[in-house]
Structures are given as structure tokens and as C-alpha cells.
Amino acid sequence: MHKSNKSIAGYHLLMILSSVDGEFAPEEGMLVQQYLADEFPFTINLDDELETIALLKPEEWKAHFEFHGRCFLDDSTEEERLNFIKFAKTLIKADDIVTDEEHTFYVLLKNLWNIK
């Protein structure tokens, strides 16, 4: 896997966070769209990125998530990480249900970035 920039890494993180519970809720999709609009003010084709994520087996999600978490860490400021983690929390709460899987990945990201 090659290193991703912060925006692409964030997309991967959000897509996995929104999928680990086995359901991609419409509310989560709207938040991912908001992230894309904020991060990519120009049109970008993310088909290859989405295909990469879609082809992951559930047992591959954690390693992929950690890899992109490190990519985001490398390219971001502390403030950007704090803002992203708040956004990620909003995402996992969007459908009014936070599953154990969503919580586990959220905590994994906080630990990876050393956020208390």
C-alpha cells in the first residue's frame, strides 16, 4: 500500500468507520459527503479509493484503518486531528446507534493519534 495524503486517508478512515457495523446508514453517507465537500473543493474521482475499500475483507479493515490513520497523522496538525476525531464521533453517532465495532475503531484511532 502506498502512502495517502491527509484528505484521502481521512476518506478511508470515515468509510471504514461507517461500515464496520455492517450497515452504511444514509446519515453517515451525508456526513462523508460533507467531508468530501470540505476537503475537496474541486471535483475528484474517488472510484479507485472506494473500490479499494469495498474489496477489503472485514479481517483486513483494522490493518487498513491503522495504515491510513498513520498517513493522516503524518500529514496533519494536532488541531486537524482533534477536529477529525470530533467529526468521526459525529459520524458514528449519526444513526443514533454506536456499535461495539464503531467504538472499537474510534478508540483505536484516538490511541493511534494519542488523543485522550
Q: DSSP letters of 47-115? A: HHHHHHHHT--GGGHHHHHHHHHHHHHHH--HHHHHHHHHHHHHHHHTTS---HHHHHHHHHHHHHTT-
State the 10-residue block means of pLDDT for the chain, 116 residues long.
90 94 88 90 84 92 97 96 96 93 97 96
pLDDT the model gives residue 40: 85
Residue 88 is assigned to a structural domain of this protein: yes
pLDDT the model gives residue 67: 98
Reading the block at residue 87, the C-alpha cell is 467529526
Residue 80 is assigned to a structural domain of this protein: yes
Do the beta carbons of residue 80 and residue 6 sit within 8 Å? Answer: yes
The amino acid at residue 27 is E
**pTM of the shown model:** 0.93
Residue 59 is assigned to a structural domain of this protein: yes
Conformation bin of residue 96: beta by default, left when phi > 0, alpha when psi is -120 to 50 = left
Residue 84 is assigned to a structural domain of this protein: yes
Q: Which domain holds residue 82?
A: 6-112
pLDDT the model gives residue 83: 96
- Across 21-84, where does the E strand assignment appear? none
pLDDT the model gives residue 68: 98
Do the beta carbons of residue 81 and residue 38 sit within 8 Å? Answer: no
Residue 1 is assigned to a structural domain of this protein: no
pLDDT the model gives residue 112: 97
- CATH classification at residue 48: 1.10.3680
DSSP-derived secondary structure letter, 22: S
pLDDT the model gives residue 82: 97
| Count of domains forming the chain | 1
Q: How far apart are CA 80 and CA 1, in angstroms?
A: 24
